Amino acid sequence: MRRFLCVGAASLIVLAALSSFADPTFAANDLGAAEKQAINPTAIIMFLIFVMGTLGITYWAANRTKSAADFYTAGGGITGFQNGLAIAGDYMSAATLLGLSSLVFSTGFDGFIYIISFFVGWPIILFLVAERLRNLGRFTFADIASYRLDQAKVRTFAAIGSLTVVCFYLIVQMVGAGQLIKLLFGLDYAVAVVIVGVLMVVYVTFGGMIATTWVQIIKAVLLLGGGSVLGILALAYFGFNLDFMAAQAVASHKAGIKIMAPGSLLADPVSAVSLSLGLVFGTAGLPHIMMRFFTVPNAKEARKSVFVASGFIGFFFLVVAVLGLAAITIVGTDPRFFEGGKIGGKIIGGGNMPVMHLAKALGGDLFLGFLSAVAFATILAVVSGLALAGASAISHDIYARVIRKGKATEKEEMRVSKIASLALGVLAVVLGILFEKQNVAFLVGLTFGIAASANFPVLILSMYWKGLTTRGALYGGLTGLISAVVCVVLSKAVWVVVLENPAPIFPYEQPALFSMTLAFLVTIVVSKLDRSASALRERDAFDDQNVRSQTGIGASGAVAH
């Protein structure tokens, strides 16, 4: 049964690829945002190898996924180093490779500031939450938030917070995937989105966390390898002289020397601080990232995994900065990469493409094919992690704990989780197709803003503050969730660009400074005012919880196979 499904999914993809090959009219009736390119056979072959390999792993993982613990957390049997690579694979999305490098390409130093901001959350995660996450949690973020609070209420809230983040982030990834694949592989947008959705559901439902982890590890290695090779080629182009690369970039860029200093992107201090708060603390509130800490056997491995992950992520981000800088000269002065051959005009394939063009300029079609396949693999790994986090919020938190009040059997819970991941797959495909023509850039800010405003305050206060009560967590968390969404809807990205109103009501681009502060404030004030009997019990339970979070006594251990 399982084998048939894996084979079925593989043949579906081959068919989809071949049908696009066979259909010479596809380019004519296509009106999408990204221009569809000619079929790139190298890219498709390399991607098919990746898909076959990962489906093989999924088949192997499916035989090892017997219990709920196997499904959600790979039985806690992933080593710190493996988990570090998988975390890096989860976090280095296609958006970081394409988006951050193109930001450096277009704005220079401002892009570098974004890169730094995306990184700084990692040490904070290690110092403040990693080991406590491992010691307190079993399967989901809600395990920790509801540890000493009202199970039904706080779990429901935490699950909603997780699902909101997962859904918004899925839209970003699916739309990005559709456009990227259309461009790089010459496949139809809808076909691309369906392929991503099908593969994601196959990995998650059959292989659970074991398969998802290995998909992420393989993808991380490919991305790090591909990025490094491209980085070395770029440095070699400038004689391994970074200053020469910078001088050439300044000479090629229309802003000239201005690209070497902070510019207009972060000129408004309020937006800059708000953005950085969202990125730094939102990272710690992403459910698919938190979930990765439950896959290692103990706190020691959890710490090791952050050290490994942040090393790889930091290295990769520095490479991305170099790639963006190199692209300013190599891509920015080559008419092949501009529409109509007009240098300084529109980049072929849209603003996210400089790093792909750089791959073609330095490594030819073969390397471009390789990097395209890696980008596709990257998206698959990230959406799989998201789908698994979303499915566990539905099956473990809402179904098993809230609806069945812990009385569901493991078998029932796993069945629900598989149905949930299928449902999330369908939802992701539908949303991906609905949002095809939308500019989804604002959703990245919204995702991190919600994670920082709804999940992070409740998470950190439940671990660190004795005074937190159920009422405080609910009011504060909901305040953060709602205010983050409202701020973004009233900001320029949605109110003006999507809803076509003349002026934004909320004047800043990023919500976190306001919504996160408000969430902390409401949580603390409501908790302080809470004089109920249950609040007393919840405060009393903190000391025992703290012993567990500090020492790991009573924490769920690894399952031996």
Q: Where along the sequence are the contacts to another protein (CB under 8 A)? A: 109, 112-113, 115-117, 119-120, 122-124, 126-128, 131, 242-243, 246-247, 250, 257, 260-263, 266-269, 272-273, 276, 280, 300, 303-304, 306-307, 310-311, 314, 317-318, 543-544, 546-548, 550-554
- Closer residue to another protein in complex, CB, 161/285: 285
| Residue with Cβ nearer another protein (94 or 284) | 284
Minimum CB distance to another protein smaller for 276 or for 470: 276
**Which residue number, 307 or 435, has a Cβ lying nearer to another protein?**
307
State in angstroms the smallest separation of the CB of 34 from another protein: 31
Residue 101 near residue 359, CB atoms below 8 Å: no
In this structure, which amino acid lies at residue 6? C
What's the min distance (Å) between Cβ of 286 and another protein? Answer: 18
From residue 447, alpha-carbon distances to 164, 286, 304, 360, 455 in Å are 8, 8, 27, 32, 11
Q: Which is nearer to another protein, 257 or 430 (CB)?
A: 257
Least distance in angstroms from the C-beta of 80 to another protein: 9
User: Would you call 427 helix, strand, or coil by DSSP?
Assistant: helix
Of 119 and 141, which has the nearer Cβ to another protein? 119
At 347 the three-state DSSP class reads strand
Q: Smallest gap, in angstroms, from Cβ of residue 279 to another protein?
A: 10
**Pairwise CA distance, residues 308 & 297, whole Å:** 16
Q: Is 235 left (phi over 0), alpha (psi -120 to 50) or beta?
A: alpha
Residue 335 vs 554, nearer CB to another protein = 554
3-state SS of 108-135? Answer: CHHHHHHHHHHHHHHHHHHHHHHHHHHH
- Shortest spacing between CB 467 and another protein, in angstroms: 18
The burial of 424, by beta-carbon neighbours within 10 Å (0-12 exposed, 13-18 middle, 19 or more buried), is given as buried
**Cα gap 329→338, rounded to integer Å:** 13
Q: Which two tokens stand for residue 113?
A: 């500031």
Helices 299-330 and 80-91, axial angle in degrees (round to 10): 40
> For residues 132 and 360, which CB has a smaller minimum distance to another protein in the complex?
132
Q: How far is the CB of 112 from another protein (least distance, A)?
A: 5
What value does the CA radius of gyration of the chain take, rounded to a whole number of Å? 23
Least spacing, CB of residue 547 vs another protein, in Å: 5
Q: Which is nearer to another protein, 128 or 190 (CB)?
A: 128
Angle at 155 between CA 199 and CA 517, to 5 degrees: 95
C-alpha–C-alpha distance, residues 386 and 485, integer Å: 20
Please report how close the Cβ of residue 60 comes to another protein at its closest, in angstroms: 31
Compute the least distance from the CB of residue 23 to another protein, in Å: 46
d(CA 448, CA 459): 15
